[in-house]
């Protein structure tokens, strides 16, 4: 059977598929049911492209199982035959169909896939630690800044299950900091993040809350729909003040650590409610205000609350200057891709260490690149820059 080698027919995505589908379909062609479903998919016209590198993936699996062996072309071929145990290559492993782009991808079975994909993490994350991390469930609220954290967590193998919550969709102005393209405009930010994570690892378990965090959804978000699958860690990156407070109240009640990147001066906030069940929210900066209090605040009071949360006196000069301009000359808070990517790295690294049992304390840390990599003199004059360009 060689249908998957033929030129695929183009697929036309419906608006629903383009904006809401986020979960891939996993097909096991070694079973009669999986083979039937794969053949039906091939005949449906839904597949726009087929990507099959299973030979190379098997060779990588062989090499990482015994790196000391210098394999030849023939020994790698023999190893492929041994692993597949007589099963034709196209019927071995998993075929993954991504309905939002029509791509069909052939990958290793779950265990082998995870072994190869995380092989370069060693010895920074050993095999036992990798298995421990895959058993953890992480929630991410706010998938604009939080997108970088969620995708980095998936790349690094920190967490095997995720819950993603955001009510907003991707807009053109988001593309200055969000890992997205113009073809993603109008897509739910939570859906986009799930797609990106599934394209890294189709075996992840991801739940999406497209309505964001509300009074109705906050319970299932933290505990699972049936109440039996609690979160192990929360990443909070949302703009809605009520959700910021309510999420911490739920996390504290359940002993769940909370991480937040404030996206200014490299501020990383850690609240170890797992170690300190009575710790005041936001390290006591908000005078004990509850989510019920937030619901009664006016716009001015909410802004004052947020400024207390982010330590207004310690904001960067650019952010302080922006405070009076939001709603006038600025449409919203200024953010840069470099700061968002730095925040994603800080969150992922800290989350990994907490989930592996390191005693990271509650508190705030600034990884301020302007301070760590300071300019040594005044800014170079534009006229000098233009003169240098002429010389070149």
- Assigned CATH for 127-370: 3.40.50.720
Q: H/E/C letters for each residue in 297-330?
A: CCHHHHHHHHHHHCCHHHCCHHHHHHHCCECCCE
Angle between helices 145-156 and 337-355 (to 10 degrees): 50
pLDDT at 107 over 70: yes
Q: What is the average per-residue pLDDT within 313-340?
A: 86
Whether the model pTM is above 0.75: yes
Residue ranges of the chain that CATH labels 3.40.50.720: 127-370
pLDDT, one tens digit per residue, over 49-91 is 999 999 999 999 999 988 999 999 999 999 999 999 999 999 9
| CA 174 – CA 168 distance, rounded (Å) | 11
Distance between CA 341 and CA 346 in Å, rounded?
Answer: 9
Interior angle at CA 259, CA 253 and CA 265, nearest 5: 145
Task: Give the pLDDT band (50/70/90) at residue 330.
Answer: confident
Predicted confidence (pLDDT) per residue in 265-310, tens digit: 999 999 999 999 999 999 999 999 999 999 999 988 988 998 999 8
Q: Which of 146, 176, 187, 175 is nearest to 163 (CA)?
A: 146
As beta bridge partners, residue 27 has: 95
Q: How far is residue 104's CA from residue 48's CA, in Å, rounded to a whole number?
A: 8
Q: Please, which residues bridge with residue 271 across strands?
A: 258
What is the band of 360 on the pLDDT scale with cuts at 50, 70, 90?
very high
Which residues on adjacent β-strands are paired with residue 94?
A: 107
Task: Identify the CA nearest to 105 among candidates 40, 30, 50.
Answer: 50
């Amino acid at each position: 059977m060689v249908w998957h080698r033929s030129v695929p027919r183009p697929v036309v995505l419906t608006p629903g598929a383009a904006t809401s589908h986020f979960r891939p379909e996993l097909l096991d062609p070694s079973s009669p049911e999986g083979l039937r479903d794969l053949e039906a998919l091939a005949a449906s016209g839904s597949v726009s492209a087929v990507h099959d590198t299973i030979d190379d993936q098997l060779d990588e699996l062989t090499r990482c199982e015994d790196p000391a062996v210098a394999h030849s072309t023939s020994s790698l071929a023999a190893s492929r035959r041994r692993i597949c145990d007589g099963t034709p290559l196209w019927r071995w492993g998993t075929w993954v169909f991504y309905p939002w782009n029509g791509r069909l991808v052939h990958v290793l079975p779950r265990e082998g896939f995870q072994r190869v994909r995380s092989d370069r993490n060693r010895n920074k994350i050993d095999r036992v630690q990798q298995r421990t991390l895959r058993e953890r469930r992480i929630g991410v609220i706010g998938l604009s800044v939080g997108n970088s954290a969620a995708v980095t967590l998936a790349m690094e193998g920190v967490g095997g299950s995720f819950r993603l919550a955001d009510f907003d969709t991707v807009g053109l102005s988001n593309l200055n900091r969000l890992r997205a393209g113009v073809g993603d405009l109008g897509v739910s930010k939570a859906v986009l993040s799930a797609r990106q994570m599934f394209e890294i690892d189709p075996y992840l378990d991801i739940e999406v809350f497209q309505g964001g965090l509300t009074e109705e959804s906050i319970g299932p978000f933290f505990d699972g729909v049936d109440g039996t699958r609690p979160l192990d860690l929360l990443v909070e990156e949302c703009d809605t003040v009520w959700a910021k407070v309510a999420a911490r109240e739920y996390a504290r009640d359940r002993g769940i650590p909370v991480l937040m990147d404030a996206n200014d001066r490299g501020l990383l906030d850690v609240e170890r409610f797992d170690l300190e069940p009575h710790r005041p929210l936001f390290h006591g900066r908000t005078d004990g205000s509850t989510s019920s209090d937030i619901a009664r605040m006016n716009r001015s009071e909410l802004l004052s609350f947020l400024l207390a949360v982010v330590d207004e006196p310690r904001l960067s000069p650019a952010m302080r200057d922006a405070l009076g301009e939001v709603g006038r000359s600025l449409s919203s808070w200024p953010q840069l891709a470099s700061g968002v990517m730095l925040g994603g790295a800080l969150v992922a690294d800290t989350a990994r260490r907490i989930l592996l049992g390191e005693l990271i304390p509650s508190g705030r840390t600034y990884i301020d690149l302007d301070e760590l990599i300071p300019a040594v003199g005044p800014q170079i004059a534009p006229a000098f820059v233009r003169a240098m360009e002429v010389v070149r």
